[in-house]
């Protein structure tokens, strides 16, 4: 927390107040300087004609188009005006549908592989080979199987989300401190108690790392799927606008995907921090 | 309760094509309420012997009896205190101490809350009950670990270098703490250590083991009066015993390095 180092006890109180305010300003600047710098540079490049406006429209133009995309009030986005919410919802829905089945199956199988040598021998070689096939290589087959529509999109996203969840769940079980396991057995824990009260909590940090990676991959794949397999969603919007040379819409769509992806990641982190309050104390959080 | 008989036990570990004999024809009896310490150079099988009593390992030849019954696996009658403290990092001190009691196997031990409360007080951890293990000092962690084992009221305490990771001052304090607990609860204690002072200071009997293969070299009756006091360490009887044990352990360890 920003104020910890400048609590009144650390310095004479008269200095502490202005010091605290100065520190807050300094921290805000640290956060803002890089993105603001990039936007300024981009705007300037466009204004002085360093790049053509229709090739790389300036941030101000992107912002105006984005506004119309969402509200439909200025018609700057032309045929895309006011369509943002539908596309954003379509993408978000697909991401969470695919993410849910992929992560659920991934955690289940990943835990089983970690817990049982027999399941490991049965499943792990297949998982290891399949995970080396890029999910994009599944596009043609999934289109043949599921046709055009939501089904191939949800399939591809789930497939992509499956592997990080599965592999990190297996790893989570494997890295459990054997002393904890032995201690619980010594105290008389039965199989169910070992699983629910020792193995799962101990593996949880690793499982949730996998879940977070899965969420990231889900947003990559929703764009791929929407470019190739469906006629709605931000990926579709992006690709369609590209066909009509509307790079301002393309960039607005890109930023929308980034923003929604970021919010999804924050959601996973939020849930993780609730579940893992205990896990923060022993890690390096960065110097202030 | 807590009588241990180790009868002609041999333990071999198979590693690939070769077998390592960790224990060779070892016999030892531990009486109820006795404190027996095991010392010896690394590789002498002292931890293996403890694991056999705990039930984490099974003997290749021979048998281990606790109260006349062969050991079939780990169980709450034999509480194990590990060197690497076995505390669940996601649980508070209080919940760690209560962990064993909350298991189905220990439903009949007694009133859960009351026992945890007594253990917190006895280990001086009442003020730290909400803390997580990572927020405790090494000595506090080991006290919490001992409390979590004592809570399920085992008749035997098996301790595998329990204070090995502590600094020497904390270690000597913990040794006295263990003796106080023993004085109150009179459990059978088998304690593995590489610290000869500790082995002699705590024990009724000290078992000196030698390596390659692991065998019992000598069993020493310590015979120092109880309760033990820290000052005894600088008195002649203690020093004589310690030097005797040191001499054997050292000469065996040197033999081990020369012989391979």
Nearest of A168, A145, A159, A150 to residue A99 by alpha carbon? A159
Per-residue pLDDT, B42? 81
Nearest C-alpha of chain A: how many angstroms from B197? Answer: 26
pTM of the predicted structure, to 2 decimals: 0.83
Place of tokens 């390596």: B211
Per-residue pLDDT, A186? 94
Pick from B79, B88, B134: CB nearest A186: B79
User: Contact A182/B152, CB-based, under 8 Å?
Assistant: no
Q: Is residue A104 part of a domain?
A: yes
Number of domain units in chain A: 2
Whether residue A181 is preceded by a cis peptide bond, meaning omega within 30 degrees of 0, is: no
User: Contact A186/B90, CB-based, under 8 Å?
Assistant: no
Mutation target among A178, A186, A191, A197 for the B interface, most CBs of B within 10 A: A186
Helix runs in A54-130, H state only: 59-71, 84-115, 117-130
Per-residue pLDDT, A198? 95
**Same domain, yes or no: A28 and A60:** yes
**Cβ(A188)–Cβ(B149) under 8 Å?**
no
pLDDT of B125 higher than 50: yes
Cβ-Cβ contacts under 8 Å for B22 (sequence gap 6 or more): B11, B12, B13, B45, B48, B213, B214
Q: Compare all CA atoms of chain A with the CA of B133 and give the residue at the minimum distance.
A: A278
Nearest C-alpha of chain A: how many angstroms from B243? Answer: 34
Task: Name the domain boundary from A79, A102, A120.
Answer: A79
Mean residue pLDDT of chain B comes to 91
**Same domain, yes or no: A156 and A265:** yes
The answer, for B135 touching chain A at a CB cutoff of 8 Å, is yes
Per-residue pLDDT, A190? 93
Q: Which residues of B touch A282 (CB under 8 A)?
A: 89, 134
Nearest C-alpha of chain A: how many angstroms from B249? Answer: 28
User: Contact A184/B135, CB-based, under 8 Å?
Assistant: no
**Same domain, yes or no: A254 and A141:** yes
Q: Is residue A155 part of a domain?
A: yes
**Cβ(B109)–Cβ(B115) under 8 Å?**
yes
Q: Is B81 helix (H, G, I), strand (E, B) or coil?
A: strand
**Cβ(B4)–Cβ(B53) under 8 Å?**
yes
Pick from A183, A193, A281: CB nearest B86: A183
Determine the average pLDDT of the residues in B32-60: 93
Hey, how many other C-beta atoms are within 10 angstroms of the C-beta on B156?
23
* Residue B7, CA atoms < 13 Å, CB-side half-sphere: 11
User: Contact A188/B54, CB-based, under 8 Å?
Assistant: no
Chain B segment 138-177 residues within 8 A of A by beta carbon are 149, 152
Nearest C-alpha of chain A: how many angstroms from B217? Answer: 30
The DSSP letter of residue A10 is G
Task: Name the domain boundary from A79, A103, A134.
Answer: A79
Task: Name the domain boundary from A79, A103, A126.
Answer: A79
Mutation target among B92, B134, B152, B160 for the A interface, most CBs of A within 10 A: B134
Q: Is residue A230 part of a domain?
A: yes
Per-residue pLDDT, A10? 43
Chain A to chain B Cβ contacts (< 8 Å): 70
User: Contact B78/A184, CB-based, under 8 Å?
Assistant: no
Q: Is residue A197 part of a domain?
A: yes
Each residue's pLDDT tens digit, A77-122:
889 999 999 999 999 999 999 999 999 999 999 999 999 999 999 9
Backbone angles phi, psi at B206, to 5 degrees: -115, 130
Nearest C-alpha of chain B: how many angstroms from A200? Answer: 11
**Same domain, yes or no: A179 and A55:** no
Mutation target among A184, A187, A192, A205 for the B interface, most CBs of B within 10 A: A187
Nearest C-alpha of chain A: how many angstroms from B153? Answer: 10
**Same domain, yes or no: A148 and A211:** yes
Taking the C-alpha atoms of residue B85 and residue B147, their distance in angstroms, rounded to an integer, is 11
**Same domain, yes or no: A125 and A40:** no
Q: Compare all CA atoms of chain A with the CA of B87 and give the residue at the minimum distance.
A: A180
**Same domain, yes or no: A164 and A23:** no
* Residue B34, CA atoms < 13 Å, CB-side half-sphere: 18
If pLDDT is split at 50, 70 and 90, which confidence band does A285 have? low
Hey, how many other C-beta atoms are within 10 angstroms of the C-beta on A106?
27
Mean residue pLDDT of chain A comes to 90
Determine the average pLDDT of the residues in B209-231: 91
Q: Is residue A241 part of a domain?
A: yes
**What separation in angstroms does the CA of A28 have from each of A15, A159, B217?**
20, 40, 70
pLDDT of A2 higher than 70: no
Determine the average pLDDT of the residues in A189-193: 94
User: Contact B56/A282, CB-based, under 8 Å?
Assistant: no
- CA diameter of chain B: 56
Determine the average pLDDT of the residues in B116-129: 92
Q: Look up the CATH number of the domain holding residue A219.
A: 1.10.3720.10
Cβ-Cβ contacts under 8 Å for B247 (sequence gap 6 or more): none
Encoded tokens for A35: 């993105």
**Same domain, yes or no: A269 and A226:** yes
Determine the average pLDDT of the residues in B238-250: 93
Mutation target among B74, B95, B98 for the A interface, most CBs of A within 10 A: B74
Each residue's pLDDT tens digit, A212-244:
999 999 999 999 999 998 999 999 999 999 999
**Same domain, yes or no: A92 and A65:** no
Q: Find the Cα–Cα–Cα–Cα dihedral B184, B74, B165, B149, rounded to 10°.
A: -30
Q: Which residues of B touch A191 (CB under 8 A)?
A: none
**Same domain, yes or no: A199 and A253:** yes
Q: Is residue A283 part of a domain?
A: no
Place of tokens 């709450």: B76
If pLDDT is split at 50, 70 and 90, which confidence band does B48 have? very high
Interface of A with B (CB under 8 A): 177, 179-180, 182-190, 193, 197-198, 201-202, 276, 278-279, 281-282
**Same domain, yes or no: A66 and A112:** no
pLDDT of B231 higher than 60: yes
If pLDDT is split at 50, 70 and 90, which confidence band does B251 have? confident
Hey, how many other C-beta atoms are within 10 angstroms of the C-beta on B137?
12
**Same domain, yes or no: A143 and A101:** yes
Determine the average pLDDT of the residues in B129-143: 91
Taking the C-alpha atoms of residue B122 and residue B126, their distance in angstroms, rounded to an integer, is 9
Q: Is residue A8 part of a domain?
A: no
Helices A247-275 and A84-115: angle between axes, nearest 10 degrees = 40
Domain ranges, residue A112: 83-277
- Among A9-23, A148-162, B19-33, B72-86, the minimum mean pLDDT is found in A9-23
Pick from A182, A183, A201: CB nearest B90: A201
Q: A127-158: buried (b, 16+ CB within 10 Å) or exposed (e) per residue?
A: beeeeeeebeebbeebbeebeeebebbbbbbb
Q: Is residue A146 part of a domain?
A: yes
Nearest C-alpha of chain A: how many angstroms from B221? Answer: 30
Each residue's pLDDT tens digit, A6-35:
444 444 444 455 678 899 999 999 999 999
Taking the C-alpha atoms of residue A90 and residue A10, their distance in angstroms, rounded to an integer, is 52
More confident residue, A169 or A286: A169
Taking the C-alpha atoms of residue B119 and residue A121, their distance in angstroms, rounded to an integer, is 45
Per-residue pLDDT, A282? 54
pLDDT of A1 higher than 50: no
Per-residue pLDDT, A227? 94
Taking the C-alpha atoms of residue B94 and residue B130, their distance in angstroms, rounded to an integer, is 7
């Amino acid at each position: 927390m920003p104020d910890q180092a400048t609590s009144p006890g650390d310095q004479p109180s008269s200095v502490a107040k202005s010091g605290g305010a100065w520190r807050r300003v300094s921290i805000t600047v640290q956060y803002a300087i890089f993105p603001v710098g990039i936007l300024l540079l981009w705007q300037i490049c466009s204004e002085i004609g360093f790049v053509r406006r229709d090739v790389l429209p300036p941030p101000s133009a992107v912002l105006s188009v984005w506004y119309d995309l969402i509200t439909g009030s200025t018609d700057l986005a032309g045929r895309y005006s006011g369509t943002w919410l539908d596309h954003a919802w379509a993408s978000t829905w697909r991401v969470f549908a695919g993410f849910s089945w992929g992560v659920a199956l991934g955690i289940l199988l990943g835990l089983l592989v970690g817990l049982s040598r027999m399941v490991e021998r049965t499943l792990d070689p297949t998982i290891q080979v399949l995970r080396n096939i890029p999910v994009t290589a599944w596009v043609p087959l999934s289109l043949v199987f599921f046709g055009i529509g939501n089904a191939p999109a949800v399939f591809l996203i789930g497939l992509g989300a499956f592997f990080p969840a599965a592999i990190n769940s297996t790893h989570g079980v494997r890295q459990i401190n054997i002393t904890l396991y032995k201690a619980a057995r010594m105290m008389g824990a039965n199989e169910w108690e070992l699983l629910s009260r020792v193995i799962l909590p101990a593996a949880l940090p690793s499982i949730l790392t996998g879940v977070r990676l899965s969420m990231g991959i889900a947003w990559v794949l929703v764009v791929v799927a929407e470019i190739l397999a469906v006629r709605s969603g931000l990926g579709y919007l992006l690709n369609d606008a590209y066909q009509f040379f509307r790079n301002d819409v393309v960039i607005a769509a890109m930023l929308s995907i980034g923003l929604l992806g970021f919010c999804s990641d924050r959601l996973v982190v939020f849930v993780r921090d609730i579940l893992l309050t205990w896990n923060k104390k022993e890690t390096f959080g960065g110097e202030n | 309760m807590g009588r241990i008989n180790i009868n002609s036990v041999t333990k071999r570990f198979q590693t690939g094509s070769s077998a390592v004999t960790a224990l060779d024809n070892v016999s030892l009896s531990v009486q109820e309420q006795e404190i027996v310490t095991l010392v010896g150079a690394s590789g002498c099988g002292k931890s293996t012997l403890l694991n056999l009593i705990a039930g984490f390992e099974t003997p290749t030849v021979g048998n281990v009896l606790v109260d006349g019954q062969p050991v079939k696996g780990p169980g709450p009658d034999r509480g194990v205190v590990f060197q690497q403290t076995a505390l669940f990092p996601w649980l508070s001190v209080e919940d760690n101490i209560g962990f064993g009691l909350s298991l189905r196997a220990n439903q009949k031990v007694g009133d859960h809350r009351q026992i945890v409360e007594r253990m917190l007080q006895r280990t001086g951890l009442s003020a730290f009950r909400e803390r997580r293990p990572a927020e405790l000092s090494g000595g506090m962690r080991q006290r919490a670990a001992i409390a979590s084992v004592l809570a399920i009221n085992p008749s035997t305490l098996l301790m595998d270098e329990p204070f090995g990771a502590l600094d020497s001052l904390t270690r000597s304090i913990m040794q006295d703490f263990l003796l106080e607990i023993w004085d109150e609860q009179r459990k059978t204690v088998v304690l593995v250590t590489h610290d000869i002072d500790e082995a002699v200071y705590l024990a009724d009997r000290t078992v000196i083991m030698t390596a390659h293969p692991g065998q019992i070299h000598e069993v020493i009756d310590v015979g120092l009066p109880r309760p033990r006091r820290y000052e005894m360490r600088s008195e002649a009887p203690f020093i004589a015993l310690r030097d005797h044990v040191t001499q054997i352990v050292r000469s065996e360890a040197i033999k081990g390095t020369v012989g391979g």
